[in-house]
Structure 1
């Protein structure tokens, strides 16, 4: 979301700051009229920040079913109402009552409009109206997969179920760089990159497992003995595919669980006792002096992913898993070559070619 900050001084200024995947961007919204109090300026900045957050939450929500969308009007109808509410906000009646909107972005827009009404400065109102228009346009463009300019916020918003077009675009980026491309962080949503990345991770694990004589899910623990790397999440992902789940199903399930934890929910309350029993069983195998600390660490995690940034965290684990597969492949390529040791670059090239071939063969999984 865009955060609006106040610079005190003469004149004071309001700045807009928004994330863009690789770094934050800053833009000047306006200079404040001298007669606007610091309290009113701060109130305006806060309401604009809340409005931006609600607009990007709207973008992150999955589309409504056709029948519900027809009744509600969908995202586009809400965006239209937001623009109108800035210009014609609900104001308190003579008896002090105030009409409230059930649509959160629209209500926040009315709040912005009421602050502007109280300040009563035409130039400031015009600047804020233009700024809200920019944010609305950014949400619209991000919804179409266009992340240029202000719409770059769309790549850091937690979208649980990405569009097929975004997944296809992420898959093309993996084809260009199978171990990960910097554009995965700025040109597509992380969730889309994760769905495509699961397919490439399973392909890479298969290539590494064959040369090492391992099961696919065992590759990551083996790599961790060579150098520190992600184990639990890549192993979970590969086992999910082996159990018959599609990449999309795995990603949506993991992101939904982490998002629920962020909102204070307990994932799978029925299975929670099983997790506790499993944690206690693992701890019982440790030396007595280490058991208490380890039990606290195990029971403190309700989800495999960071609830504050689940899709980006999952993508980091997937990319770490891909590097682990290459690490295992290189080690065993040297062992099996005997005296005719392959060049490290040659081993990497063979690995990447084999992974690309497998990932292409299973690409239809991304459509399910």
Structure 2
């Protein structure tokens, strides 16, 4: 989403958004010195809220709702998306919006911006703001079509409840060229789609590394915890278990992301899963009490994670975990190399050895993913 702010040094309204690897900003409009600071700050806040509400129609599309009848979740989401058509007319209306009940959050946010613009009463400012909001709505529509270029690149920092086959294929192509990840994967592809493709490649890396080292797949995955990402282990273990049972990456990635999105909104979905987590935690506490009574552990001393992902950015977080997992597999693969390691004092020979081993590893996982390509989409 786009965040709006006032640059006090230049006295301008700016729009700022993430690109997936950093933020960028653009000037929306110049402000007059005599305009009350409180009103221009209110305008920035109202525009930020409008952007947030509109981008939610992208991250939570009507198509992913469980129900689509009248007044169902899917129906309400479609109402919000349809309300996009009312935003610009609301902003350019000659009269100040009346405080009447509005059925959609998009409509409410648009009216809030319009009321602040009428309070500021600067036609030029209204024109510039309307132009910027039009660009924001166009960026959302562009992202819905799978094009994350220009202003739509901010979608690369969002977590979506769905992923298009086109975006998954694009991510798969990028991973084939760069199995450890690349900038384009982080900036040009929806992270939910990228995570689905990355799960496909991660499992191939786990499979190849397990064959190469003689370790069980779960032992291979467990090394990710030793490499500086302890919270990644749960999501990587779950993905490995589901894919080893023959299921598709989408069927494990989407529930992980959707559950985290629910938790971010203060809701738990799936009482049974939560009960399993609580039971496992209780068993762990009981064992710890037995083994280490001096620690005086109790239910109130344990923090129970509700999700293995960062609920504020679950899709990018899962993608980070999966790329970390692939790199961990490569490190473990090196440690069990069949090729005798050269004298480390000879850097040229060491580099050649590394390159040959790396080539063998990448070739093996590319062949493995090709064998499983029918399960990706």
Q: Name the TM-score, length of structure 2 as normaliser.
A: 0.86
Question: 1:248 maps to what in 2?
Answer: 250
Structure 2 residue 326 is the aligned partner of structure 1 residue 322:
yes
Once the two structures are superposed, residues 155-213 of structure 1 have per-residue CA deviations (whole angstroms, 9 ceiling, x without a partner) of 11211221111101000010001121221110101111110011111111110111111
Give the number of equivalent residue pairs. Answer: 358
Question: Is contact 1:59–1:143 with CA below 8 Å preserved after alignment?
Answer: yes
Q: Match of 1:300, SS?
A: coil
Match of 2:90 in 1: 85
Shift in Å, 1:35: 3.7
Distance 1:187 1:155 in 2: 7
What's the offset of the Cα at 1:244? 3.7
Q: Deviations over 1:275-315 (max 9, x none)?
A: 22222323414533456389844x43111111111111111
Contact 1:89 / 1:114 at 8 angstroms: preserved in 2?
Answer: no
Partner of 1:5: 5
Provide the C-alpha distance between the structure 2 equivalents of 1:60 and 1:192, rounded to a whole number of angstroms.
12
Instruction: Please say if residues 170 and 184 of structure 1, whose CA atoms lie closer than 8 Å, have aligned partners that are also in contact.
Output: yes
Which residue is equivalent to 1:185?
186
Distance in 2 (CA, whole Å) between partners of 1:166 and 1:160 is 14
Question: 2:271 matched to which residue of 1?
Answer: 269
| Distance in 1 separating the partners of 2:112 and 2:102 | 11
Find the counterpart in structure 2 of residue 127 from structure 1: 128
Equivalents in 1 of 2:250, 2:120: separation in Å? Answer: 49
Distance in 2 between residues matched to 1:12 and 1:252, nearest whole Å: 44
Q: What residue in structure 2 maps to residue 214 of structure 1? A: 215
Q: Matched residues in 1 for 2:58 and 2:163: separation? A: 11
Cα deviation, residue 151, structure 1: 1.2
Q: Which residue matches 1:59? A: 58
**Range that drifts further, 186-195 or 268-277:** 268-277
Q: Normalising to structure 1: TM-score of the pair? A: 0.88
Aligned to 2:118: 117
Q: Distance in 2 between matches of 1:217 and 1:323?
A: 16
Equivalent residues in 2 for 1:80-229, closer than 5 Å:
80-88=85-93, 91=96, 98-222=99-223, 227-229=227-229
Give matches, 1:318-357, under 5 Å. Answer: 318-334=322-338, 337=339, 343-357=353-367
Deviation, 1:115, is 1.6
Q: C-alpha displacement at 1:148, in angstroms?
A: 1.9
Q: Give the SS at the match of 1:4.
A: strand
C-alpha distance after superposition, 1:21-52 (max 9, x if no partner):
11111111111134421121111111111111
2:310 maps to: 306
Task: State the secondary structure of the residue aligned to 1:178.
Answer: coil
Q: Within 2, Cα distance between the matches of 1:338 and 1:72? A: 60
Secondary structure, aligned partner of 2:83: helix
2:62/2:75 contact within 8 Å kept = no
Gaps of 5+ in 2: 344-351
Query: Does the CA-based 8 Å contact 2:167-2:193 persist in structure 1?
Result: yes
Q: Secondary structure at the match of 1:333?
A: coil
